């Protein structure tokens, strides 16, 4: 008997098992050292939620499919609402929360062996608008609902996650809301049904998605649906309270299918199987490339239609969403290219060539303008979304294009999105691919345009065709 149980014990422990250790409470991004976690990777988030617009109460269950990347004694998720229970592989796990630090530390009843799968079930509730984390609140309340859409983080206020673009996963998001109210998220609407006291909307994102690109919008929306030329379902949602901006919003976002077709010509086949956009009644001024279904603020349509912002957010579907950052320092790989797409659109519309727009950026900002102090290739966390990352970033791409020639340049755009599809890429990967395709050394060009805190000399600009 004694020998048999000793044998059972031996079999239960993998031969090469080390001593289980805690996963790091960081994924190791120098810009945001507290974001994301080590010791595991997530493959899928299943969120089953209920939201009450009147009180801003959100409650529900997150079921997270993960896999241990080390022998793991405990691990963290990024989260800031109130957790009532955690199960790991069906068994209650101990947990401690530090909402202000957006961490939920979980100690499973038994360590997880490296390579093993874990199902983590987190039950939670909270009033997201009341939760301030490091001075910010990424949950936008509207008169009839709320929106989760911000960058680099939005997830803390609505679901527990490994909050970093390095750990992409698929999603099922199902949200019950009061009758007459809709819940919009990423991907395809797989189900809509009445419940005892409301309506439940179920959404599926079946392609890998970074946490900050997961979105939830609850409110009273006018919905439009259709299909792209390739048969991809289109779903757009417009707040019923857009007032004077309603028509301009539609005249812009309804062009998503046309814009995606046009962008596919430059960037390759559209990587996702759903498309759309939503315009909630928020007071913010930014847009966000939430996957398959960008978020737009009404303010963007206050001066009339704005197809250009749609071009920008939809270009991100390739640059940012399909090919995601490995670290936030490389934000130029997102914003530079999304802005360059707007320049290509301008050229296409006969409203100024990409070269004219690059010249304009150069002329608009004299050498002593602090604009040139921001390095688009390494702007610092506080300057990630500064104009320089967008406009100087796009000028850098024009300089690249004139240096390598149109043939290599357009080949590079498609090769980049193809090589890193549904994954990640970093600046070194990009430079390597650009040099391989063009056969030209490009270190100096990038140094000048992306990594020098001053205006490129007129000579360098001229060499680059500026
Ligand atoms: N990626 C977004 C865009 O340029 C930027 C979002 C900036 N975030 C913010 N809270 N302002 O489309
Ligand atoms: Zn952008």
Ligand nearest to the CA of 140: 1
pLDDT tens-digit profile of 423-443? 999 999 999 999 999 999 999
In 339-460, beta strands by DSSP E: 423-425
Q: Count of CB atoms within 10 A of residue 178's CB?
A: 18
pLDDT tens-digit profile of 1-41? 334 444 444 444 444 557 999 999 999 999 999 999 999 99
Q: What is the pLDDT of residue 463?
A: 56
Best probe residue, ligand 1, of 299, 308, 385, 393 (max atoms within 8 Å of C-beta): 385
Residue keyed to tokens 């659109």: 345
Ligand nearest to the CA of 290: 1
Ligand 2 centre from 286 Cα, in Å? 9
Ligand 2 centre from 139 Cα, in Å? 19
Residue keyed to tokens 């039950």: 123
Complex ipTM > 0.90? yes
Instruction: Quote the CA–CA distance of 363 and 464 in Å, as a whole number.
Output: 15
Ligand 1 centre from 288 Cα, in Å? 5
Instruction: Quote the CA–CA distance of 242 and 466 in Å, as a whole number.
Output: 41
Chunked in runs of 10, what are the mean pLDDT values of the chain (466 residues)?
A: 43 61 98 98 98 98 98 98 98 95 97 98 98 90 97 97 98 98 98 97 98 98 95 97 97 98 97 98 97 98 98 99 98 98 98 97 97 98 98 98 98 98 98 98 97 86 56
Ligand 1 centre from 287 Cα, in Å? 6
**In the numeric block, which tokens belong to residue 252?**
């812009």
Residue by residue, DSSP assigns 139-206 as: EEEETTEEEE--SS--GGGT--B--STTS-EEEEEEEEE-TT-EEE-SSEEEEEEEETTEEEEEEEEE
CA distances from 249 to 186, 262, 280 (A): 19, 20, 11
Residue 78: strand, helix, or coil = strand
Q: What is the pLDDT of residue 7?
A: 45
Per DSSP, 352 falls in state: -
Q: What is the pLDDT of residue 99?
A: 84
Q: Is 364 exposed, middle or buried (0-12, 13-18, 19+ CB in 10 A)?
A: exposed
Best probe residue, ligand 1, of 157, 286, 379 (max atoms within 8 Å of C-beta): 286
Residue whose CA lies nearest to ligand 1 atom number 10: 150
Instruction: Quote the CA–CA distance of 35 and 53 in Å, as a whole number.
Output: 29
Pocket of ligand 1 (CB under 6 A): 150-151, 286-289, 312-313, 335, 385
Residue whose CA lies nearest to ligand 1 atom number 3: 288
- State which ligand 1 atom lies nearest to the alpha carbon of 312: 12
Residue whose CA lies nearest to ligand 1 atom number 8: 151
Ligand 2 centre from 448 Cα, in Å? 22
Residue 338: strand, helix, or coil = helix
Helices 307-315 and 256-267: angle between axes, nearest 10 degrees: 50
Ligand 2 centre from 288 Cα, in Å? 7
Ligand 1 centre from 151 Cα, in Å? 6
User: Is the pTM for the entire model greater than 0.90?
Assistant: yes
Residue whose CA lies nearest to ligand 1 atom number 12: 288
């Amino acid at each position: 008997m004694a020998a048999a149980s000793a044998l059972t014990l031996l079999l239960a422990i993998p031969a090469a098992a080390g001593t289980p250790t805690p996963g790091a409470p960081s994924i190791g991004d120098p810009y945001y050292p507290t974001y994301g976690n080590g010791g595991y990777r997530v493959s899928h988030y299943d969120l089953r939620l209920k939201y009450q617009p009147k009180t801003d109460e959100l409650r529900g269950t997150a079921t997270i499919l993960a896999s241990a990347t080390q022998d793991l004694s405990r691990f963290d998720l990024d989260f800031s609402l109130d957790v009532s229970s955690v199960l790991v592989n069906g068994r209650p796990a101990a947990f401690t929360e530090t909402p202000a630090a957006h961490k939920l530390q979980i100690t499973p009843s038994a360590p997880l062996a490296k390579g093993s799968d874990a199902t983590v079930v987190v039950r939670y509730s909270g009033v997201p608008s009341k939760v301030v984390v490091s001075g910010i609140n990424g949950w936008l309340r509207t008169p009839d609902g709320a929106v989760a859409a911000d960058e680099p983080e939005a997830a803390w206020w609505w679901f527990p996650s490994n909050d970093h673009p390095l750990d992409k996963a698929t999603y099922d998001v199902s949200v019950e809301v009061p009758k007459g109210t809709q819940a919009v998220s990423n991907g395809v609407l797989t189900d809509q049904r009445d419940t005892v006291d409301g309506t439940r909307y179920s959404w599926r994102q079946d392609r890998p998605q970074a946490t900050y690109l997961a979105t939830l919008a609850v409110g009273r929306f006018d919905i439009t649906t259709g299909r792209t030329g390739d048969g991809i379902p289109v779903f757009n949602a417009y707040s019923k309270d857009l007032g004077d901006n309603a028509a301009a919003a539609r005249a812009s976002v309804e062009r998503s299918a046309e814009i995606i077709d046009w962008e596919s010509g430059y960037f390759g086949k559209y990587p996702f199987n759903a498309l759309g956009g939503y315009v909630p009644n928020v007071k913010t001024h930014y847009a966000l490339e939430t996957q398959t279904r960008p978020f737009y603020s009404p303010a963007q349509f206050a001066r009339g239609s704005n197809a250009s912002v749609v071009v920008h957010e939809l270009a991100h579907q390739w640059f940012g969403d399909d090919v995601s950052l490995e670290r936030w320092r490389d934000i130029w790989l997102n914003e530079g290219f999304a802005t360059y797409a707007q320049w290509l659109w301008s050229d296409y519309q006969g409203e100024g060539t990409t070269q004219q727009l690059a010249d304009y950026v150069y002329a608009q900002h004299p050498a002593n303008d602090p604009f040139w102090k921001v390095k688009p290739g390494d702007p610092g966390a506080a300057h990630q979304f500064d104009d320089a990352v967008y406009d100087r970033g796009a000028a850098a791409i024009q300089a690249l294009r004139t240096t390598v020639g149109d043939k290599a340049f357009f080949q590079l755009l498609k090769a980049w999105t193809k090589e890193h599809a549904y994954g990640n890429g970093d600046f070194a990967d990009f430079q390597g691919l650009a040099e391989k395709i063009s056969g030209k050394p490009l270190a100096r060009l990038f140094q000048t345009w992306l990594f020098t805190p001053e205006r490129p000399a007129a000579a360098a600009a001229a060499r680059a065709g500026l």
